[in-house]
Amino acid sequence: MSSQPIPTPRYRRVLLKLSGEALMGSQPFGIDPDVVQGIALEIREVHALGVEIGIVIGGGNIIRGLAASEQGFDRVSADHMGMLATVINALALQDALENADVYTRVLSAIEMREVAEPYIKRRAVRHLEKGRVVIFAAGTGNPYFSTDTTAALRGMEIKAEVLMKATRVDGVYDADPERVADANMLRRISYLDVIKRKLGVMDTTAVSLCMDNGMPIIVFNIGDRGNVKRVVLGEEIGSLVQ
């Protein structure tokens, strides 16, 4: 009996952007271990195809810098708090991935050698070439920059072929689908339209960076099991921003 052939991925090196909220599950905040394990298993399936994977995770399940600044914290201090939240999430995902037998490295833009390697572009690329999943933590290391912008920046630096934006909805809509019942999903849309129509896929800086460097963005629902693999295989799910 012949074994089933391994499907050929459309992309060989990807940057996966996960929101911190994706790790909460049904909880109001924090990290749901079962959700993190499920995400890790999805990433393992893609990794088994020989795909090189970089990951950026937000920190909104713990603290969001902009929201904290609106509550009275100094913006720079608030953003640094948000960056540290992304490190917590990165370590949680690293643990889940290594429990699933996927070698993983966390590279932090803020130096903390006891828990993560410092971010160095060449080191990150070398880890990818050796088949390790690389999680980029602590944003860019600078205040006023979101993890969306970090994802775009790290995607450019490692020469990823696509930025995969994992969300709680199926793709890009012409209105917030969680608030507007008849919002329409847009299968394909240009960078400029996303910016002009303020669709909120990613922040303007991130979209502009992708546009200037020709990095396609695929927005899809992380809640549907197997979607990460479907995107990598080139199936038409979610929305393509190009």
Q: How do residues 39-79 score in pLDDT, each as one tens digit?
A: 999 999 999 999 999 999 999 999 877 777 788 889 999 99
Q: CB of 131 within 8 A of CB of 43?
A: no
Name the CA dihedral angle for 240, 97, 135, 138, rounded to a multiple of 10 degrees: 110
Task: Find the range with the poorest average confidence among 4-18, 86-100, 121-135.
Answer: 4-18
Residue 7 placed within a domain: no
pLDDT per position as a tens digit, 124-180 = 999 999 999 999 999 999 999 999 999 999 999 999 999 999 998 899 999 888 888
Q: Six-digit token pair at 225? A: 């099991």
Residue 115 placed within a domain: yes
Residue 181 placed within a domain: yes
pLDDT of amino acid 181: 84
Q: Which domain holds residue 50?
A: 13-241
pLDDT of amino acid 88: 97
Residue 139 sits in a domain whose CATH number is 3.40.1160.10
Residue 6 placed within a domain: no
Residue 3 placed within a domain: no
pLDDT of amino acid 2: 52
Residue 80 placed within a domain: yes
Query: Which of 27, 101, 94 has the alpha carbon at shortest distance from 55?
Result: 94
Residue 221 placed within a domain: yes
Residue 100 placed within a domain: yes
pLDDT of amino acid 28: 85
How many beta carbons lie within 10 A of that of residue 182, not counting itself?
Answer: 7
pLDDT of amino acid 25: 85
Contacts of 231 (CB under 8 A, 6+ apart): 162, 164, 218, 220, 237, 238
Q: Six-digit token pair at 133? A: 């999943």
Residue with tokens 């980029």: 136
**pTM of the full structure:** 0.94
For the chain, the domain total comes to 1
What is the average pLDDT across 207-222?
97
3 pLDDT tier (thresholds 50, 70, 90) = low
What is the average pLDDT across 184-193?
96
Type of residue found at 41:
L
